[in-house]
């Protein structure tokens, strides 16, 4: 039977031809005696504690130090830095770079003082005074 004939039968344009074989499908009313015993899996405790991020102060005096900020933040650590030693344009570039890091890695950027900042990874809660103490103890 050609595809055109099958299509015509399917659309109802031609009478259907009788089927050459018997139906050997399963009886839908027959029961197998199977009882579904699905249970929720028990909650398993975590194997290891979540690592707590450390606070890493980074001295920034030129834009080349941005890579160190990015690598440390990407590793999941909290980064604190001061832009007091930088000129305005370069400091703005560092702030833009840091804001992009926070956006891309779902962290947050905290302004501690006029030119002091901290990058905090997602899910980490820490007080601002702890960030300031880490920056000034550097």
Q: Where are the domains of the chain?
A: 55-136
Distance CA 81, CA 60 (A): 7
Q: Are 61 and 86 in contact (CB under 8 A)?
A: yes
| pLDDT at residue number 96 | 94
| DSSP letter, residue 103 | H
Distance CA 109, CA 11 (A): 64
- Is the CATH code 3.30.530.20 the one for domain 55-136? no
| pLDDT at residue number 21 | 65
Output the tens digit of pLDDT for each of the chain's 138 residues: 678 888 777 777 777 666 666 666 666 666 666 676 777 777 777 776 667 888 999 989 899 989 999 999 999 999 999 998 888 899 999 999 999 999 999 999 999 988 899 999 998 998 988 998 888 776
| pLDDT at residue number 74 | 92
Max CA distance (Å), the chain: 91
| pLDDT at residue number 136 | 78
| pLDDT at residue number 14 | 73
Per the confidence metrics, is the pTM higher than 0.75? no
Nearest to 118 by CA among 65, 87, 81, 86: 81
| pLDDT at residue number 2 | 79
Distance CA 118, CA 78 (A): 7
| pLDDT at residue number 45 | 76
Nearest to 57 by CA among 5, 111, 118: 118
| pLDDT at residue number 98 | 94
Count of all residues that appear for the chain in the document: 138
Distance CA 127, CA 104 (A): 23
């Amino acid at each position: 039977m050609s595809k055109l004939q099958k299509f015509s039968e399917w659309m109802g344009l031609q009478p259907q031809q009788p089927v050459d074989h018997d139906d050997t499908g399963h009886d839908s009313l027959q029961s197998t005696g199977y009882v579904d015993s699905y249970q929720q899996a028990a909650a398993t405790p975590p194997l290891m504690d979540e690592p707590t991020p450390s606070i890493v102060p980074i001295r920034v005096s030129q834009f080349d130090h941005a890579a160190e900020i990015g690598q440390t933040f990407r590793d999941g650590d909290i980064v604190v830095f001061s832009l007091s030693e930088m000129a305005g344009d370069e400091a703005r570039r560092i702030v833009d770079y840091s804001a992009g890091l926070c956006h891309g890695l779902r962290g947050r950027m905290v302004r501690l003082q006029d030119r002091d900042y901290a990058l905090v990874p997602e899910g980490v809660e820490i007080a601002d005074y702890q960030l300031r103490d880490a920056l000034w103890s550097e």
